[in-house]
Amino acid sequence: MAESAPIVEAVVISDSFHGSLTDLVKEAGGRLSTRTAEGGAPAEIPAAVIVMAGGREGEALAQLPTLGNAPWYFIGSMPDHRIAAAAVRAGASDYLVLPEDLDVLRRSLERDIRTARARVDAAEFAAKEGAHAGFAAMVGRSPELTAVLAQAKRVAGHRDVTILLGGETGTGKELLARAIHYASPRAAEPFVEVNCAAIPANLLESELFGHERGAFTGAVAAKPGLFEQAHGGTLFLDEIGHMPMELQAKLLRALESREIRRVGGTSTKKVDIRLLAATHIDLAVAVREQAFREDLYYRLNVVRLVLPPLRDRGSDLELLAETFATELAGRYGLPVPVSSTEFREALGTHHWPGNVRELRNALERVLVLSKPGTLDVSVLDFGTAPAAADRHAANGALPFPADLAAITRAAVDAMLDLCDGNKSAAARRLGISRPRLQRVLDQVDN
């Protein structure tokens, strides 16, 4: 095993089964370091600690050394609920008996070693890229965006302040969360994220807070939750507006006490995290509709940053399109494309309900379907999501397409009259691109 592999430390009270640990730790991706209870702590922070009590469990609990924040496992000689409970109360991640629980220990160590490697990767990224590297990924010069980024940079330096990120879907909330983390004093520690809308409600509690072995069917080993994995760093809860009400109360307690209790656990664990949360819905409205806890809303809403939609960012549209086209061309091994005036105009007529994410996907589609070095405007076909169509209708625009050619032609003619024959303006009012408007006219006239 290379010397760069994370350390797993064994504190030896009794050397029963100690010999089998070297290979087990190596299989898990680490390297074993041993010491006695009286020995000093290792120079390198371990990924995990194994306390080898053997048949001297009571003595081991009485003389536990300082183990730091690393997860640790208490190894006894036989199943004993009393000793197991005492070990967990003392902070152990699990009480195991060897050799029966060797597989459980190996899986736990594999997870801990992955977490340790992630910490190293985060530290190396922060050291290499610099304090404000993350903000370089936020492309744009519009006043609407730069004002938000200026606020974000100011609050990023405050280690513990909670930040609530708002804005429509696709505006870059996750990107901004990462930028804040890597510009903060916690940059060398983990950035852990979870989409609250993507995990079933009955699993989200275990995902956030972890669980003890046997807490429910299938819980064959203790598992730290995302709060523990983010210890020292940043926990980013995306789409927090979709979190179930019953879990919101537990999240509030964790934020106020800075302690968590695993599912099925009896003791609490201290956690040191900075919380960033994001949502595309208006939480104040959700509070009024009793869909979100008012006390949690105020706890999250310490600093609120709202990213502007792409349609309000002016010249950023062309800058982003150029940036994405260059980046994607490099990915696919294509020459950097040159955009035509017609192509840029077509981009400008679209409403962009999916914001920056939609723009990037549109550029990728056009790039791979066009001749190398070009961006074919005829490939653009934005479509209109149902929610976007409803929004356009509410703004006085006509949802498109209509089913009957005659009605479609009449609607387009009426809009062209309103816009003095300007097809670009008519397309904008209709919520579609100019090329698509032209295709509609060609279709209904044939």
Residue 303 neighbours by CB distance under 10 Å: 17
| Residue 328 confidence (pLDDT) | 94
| Residue 418 confidence (pLDDT) | 67
Which tokens belong to 170? 């696709």
3-state secondary structure the chain: CCCCCCEEEEEECCCCCHHHHHHHHHHHCCEEEEEECCCCCCCCCCCEEEEEEECCHHHHHHCCCCCCCCCEEEEECCCCHHHHHHHHHCCCCEEEECCCCHHHHHHHHHHHHHHHHHHHHHHHHHHHHCCCHHHHHCCCCCHHHHHHHHHHHHHHCCCCCCEEEECCCCCCHHHHHHHHHHCCCCCCCCEEEEECCCCCHHHHHHHHHEECCCCCCCCCCCEECHHHHCCCCEEEEECHHHCCHHHHHHHHHHHHHCEECCECCCCCEECCCEEEEECCCCHHHHHHCCCCCHHHHHHHCCEEEECCCHHHCCCHHHHHHHHHHHHHHHHHCCCCCECCHHHHHHHHHCCCCCHHHHHHHHHHHHHHHCCCCECCHHHCCCCCCHHHHHHHHHCCCCCCCCCCHHHHHHHHHHHHHHCCCCHHHHHHHHCCCHHHHHHHHHHHHC
Same fold for the pair 7-116 and 130-306: yes
How far apart (Å, rounded) are the C-alpha atoms in residues 396 and 401? 15
Where the chain has pLDDT below 70, the residues are 1-4, 13-19, 37-44, 63, 65-68, 122-133, 383-407, 409-410, 417-420, 429, 431, 444-446
| Residue 385 confidence (pLDDT) | 52
How far apart (Å, rounded) are the C-alpha atoms in residues 25 and 8? 7
* CB-based contact 131:206 (threshold 8 Å): no
What are the CA-CA distances from residue 123 to residues 29, 187, 230, 366 (Å)?
A: 20, 7, 13, 38
Partners of 75 in the β-ladder? 52, 96
Q: Which fold has domain 7-116?
A: Rossmann fold (3.40.50)
The predicted-structure confidence for 359-368, as pLDDT tens digits, reads as follows: 999 999 999 9
What is the chain's length?
Answer: 446
* CB-based contact 33:52 (threshold 8 Å): no
Show me where the domains of the chain are located. 7-116, 130-306, 311-378, 383-446
| Residue 419 confidence (pLDDT) | 67
Please name which of 437, 355, 347 lies closest in space to residue 388, comparing C-alpha atoms: 355
How far apart (Å, rounded) are the C-alpha atoms in residues 286 and 293? 8
| Residue 11 confidence (pLDDT) | 78
Partners of 340 in the β-ladder? none
Q: Which fold has domain 311-378?
A: Helicase, Ruva Protein; domain 3 (1.10.8)
* CB-based contact 160:181 (threshold 8 Å): no
Partners of 165 in the β-ladder? 278, 305
How far apart (Å, rounded) are the C-alpha atoms in residues 28 and 14? 23
* CB-based contact 342:202 (threshold 8 Å): no
| Residue 16 confidence (pLDDT) | 57
- Side-chain half-sphere CA neighbours of 329 within 13 A: 18
Token pair 């594999």 is found at 110
Token pair 């009896």 is found at 266
The predicted-structure confidence for 140-153, as pLDDT tens digits, reads as follows: 999 999 999 999 99
> What is the reported pTM?
0.67
| Residue 368 confidence (pLDDT) | 92
How far apart (Å, rounded) are the C-alpha atoms in residues 146 and 319? 14
How far apart (Å, rounded) are the C-alpha atoms in residues 258 and 253? 8
Q: Which residues contact 128 (CB under 8 A, 6 or more apart)?
A: none
Which tokens belong to 146? 């730069």
| Residue 60 confidence (pLDDT) | 78
CATH superfamily of 130-306: P-loop containing nucleotide triphosphate hydrolases (3.40.50.300)
Write out the CATH class of domain 383-446: mainly alpha
* CB-based contact 228:268 (threshold 8 Å): no
* CB-based contact 277:234 (threshold 8 Å): no
